[in-house]
């Protein structure tokens, strides 16, 4: 049926999914909530494979009109100092800032000083993909049903450093395992909006970061639930997948490499001031992995880009998640390749469910008429969790499948990292 655009949907999950209680007192579980949230997946039959779906994203469309106000936060991390920008969804405004993405303007000091609230609106914190930002069309499509036409959600986007026209102030660019900025912001949101249930979502590289964050926080995660969309999971496997085909290397990897070179050029002065990156070497970069070799290994201290990929991958973090977690991936995704999906990890952790579609490409899922499929399961799941599920009754100590049945007295730490910050 795939060739007619009807994608097959499958779920990977633990044999005994996380039990949940509805607000009316009835019992359900995470898998049932996910299955109810995921509708049929009917893709545009003219975009019949992952390459066509993914390449169609180059067709310019206006997308939903989402307006933002930006606040610059000072990072509180002792080592990774600097600033990062957070864009809050706000009602339409007429302010224009030529230096920022469309429909985005900064808060005035007075406006932001009064942003705190005791309301109990659900709040979604989003992370974008590689070199993107709050302006990305796939992201705006995903959040539009939550905030437009009477939507009752509050939404904000944490932009990676240097992205979405934000400034780089200490030479620190994005990093695939950089969870510190989103962690700081979520702590701030928990304090500023004490009654709001907080939820998280990440797309592509942002999905990898969100997954790592949720895993690192474990049972203490302040989020009530999280979603990862088109997560590359195992970055080394995904990178090898890109380099193994002509399209992967000469189209996707080259486009991403060029985008990162432009990002570097936008912040060249600050990066070169605070790091020992070889500018001439960056100028000769063609592919994504070459950029990571020239910039990421130098600035972060990895000996090779593959060491960076292994350290930053989120596949093991799946095992440490202790909040309801949904991952949505397309099996024909040419960037976050199916070989990198950690099926076994989803199959043993009752807090997680993986939804795969046989069609959809990378952050695409184009339907007939130009609409997107992915906002439907995203918004259905978030609304179900926020309005139907008794969030405070969720247990954070449910055992994984087979946990505690080891032959030897050993312990596996799924979020252990090899990059050590030397104070």
Q: Is the pLDDT of residue 422 over 80?
A: no
Looking at per-residue pLDDT, the higher value among 117 and 407 belongs to 117
d(CA 391, CA 197): 8
- Mean model confidence pLDDT for the chain: 95
Confidence class of residue 282 from pLDDT cuts 50, 70 and 90?
Answer: very high
Burial class, 58, CB count within 10 angstroms (exposed 0-12 / middle 13-18 / buried 19+): exposed
Q: What is the pLDDT of residues 164-178, one digit of tens each?
A: 999 999 988 888 989
Which residue of the set 87, 292, 333, 364 is catalytic? 333
Element (H, E) at 407: none
333 in active site? yes
Region of poorest pLDDT, from 56-70, 216-230, 286-300, 309-323: 56-70
Q: Which residue has the tokens 């203490």?
A: 220
Which domains does the chain possess? 2-234+318-393 (3.40.50.1820), 236-312 (no CATH)
- Mean pLDDT over residues 219-239, rounded? 98
Q: Is the pLDDT of residue 1 over 80?
A: no
Structure tokens at 335: 């960037």
pLDDT at residue 423, rounded to an integer: 66
pTM of the model: 0.97
Distances (CA, A) of 247 to 36, 48, 51, 102, 292: 36, 16, 9, 31, 19
358 in active site? no
pLDDT at residue 61, rounded to an integer: 79
204 in active site? yes
Q: What angle do CA 265, 266, 272 make, to 5 degrees?
A: 60
Which residue of the set 204, 230, 253, 358 is catalytic? 204
């Amino acid at each position: 049926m795939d060739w007619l655009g009807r994608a097959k949907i499958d779920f990977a999950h633990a044999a005994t999914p996380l039990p949940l209680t509805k607000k009316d007192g009835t019992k359900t579980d995470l898998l049932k909530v996910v299955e109810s949230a995921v509708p049929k997946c009917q893709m545009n039959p003219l975009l019949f494979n992952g390459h066509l779906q993914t390449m169609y994203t180059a067709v310019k469309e206006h997308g939903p009109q989402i307006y933002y106000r930006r606040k610059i936060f000072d990072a509180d991390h002792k080592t990774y100092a600097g600033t990062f920008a957070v864009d809050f969804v706000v009602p339409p405004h007429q302010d224009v800032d030529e230096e920022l993405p469309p429909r985005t303007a900064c808060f005035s000091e007075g406006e932001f000083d009064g942003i705190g609230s005791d309301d109990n609106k659900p709040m979604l914190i989003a992370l974008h993909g590689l070199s993107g930002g709050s302006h990305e069309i796939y992201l705006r499509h995903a959040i539009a049903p939550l905030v437009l036409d009477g939507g009752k959600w509050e939404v904000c986007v944490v932009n990676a450093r240097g992205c979405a026209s934000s400034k780089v102030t200490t030479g620190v660019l994005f990093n695939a395992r950089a969870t510190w900025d989103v962690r700081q912001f979520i702590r701030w949101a928990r304090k500023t909006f004490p009654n709001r249930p907080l939820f998280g979502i990440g797309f592509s590289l942002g999905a990898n970061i969100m997954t790592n964050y949720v895993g690192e926080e474990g049972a203490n995660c302040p989020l009530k639930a999280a979603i990862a969309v088109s997560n590359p999971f195992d970055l080394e496997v995904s990178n090898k997948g890109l380099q193994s085909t002509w399209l992967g290397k000469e189209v996707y990897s080259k486009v991403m490499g060029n985008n990162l070179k432009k990002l570097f050029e936008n912040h060249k002065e600050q990066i070169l001031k605070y790091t020992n990156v070889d500018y001439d070497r960056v100028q000769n970069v063609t592919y994504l992995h070459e950029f990571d070799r020239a910039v990421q290994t130098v600035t972060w201290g990895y000996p090779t880009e593959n060491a960076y990929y292994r350290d930053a991958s989120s596949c093991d973090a799946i095992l440490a998640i202790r909040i309801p977690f949904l991952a949505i991936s397309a099996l024909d995704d040419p960037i976050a390749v199916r070989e990198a999906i950690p099926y076994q990890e989803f199959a043993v952790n009752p807090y997680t469910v993986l939804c795969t579609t046989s069609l959809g490409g990378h952050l695409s899922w184009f339907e007939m008429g130009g609409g997107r499929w992915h906002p439907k399961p995203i918004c259905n799941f978030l609304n179900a969790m926020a309005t139907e599920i008794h969030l405070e009754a969720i247990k954070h100590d449910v055992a994984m499948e087979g946990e505690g049945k080891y032959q030897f007295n050993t312990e596996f730490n799924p979020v252990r990292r090899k990059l050590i910050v030397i104070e």
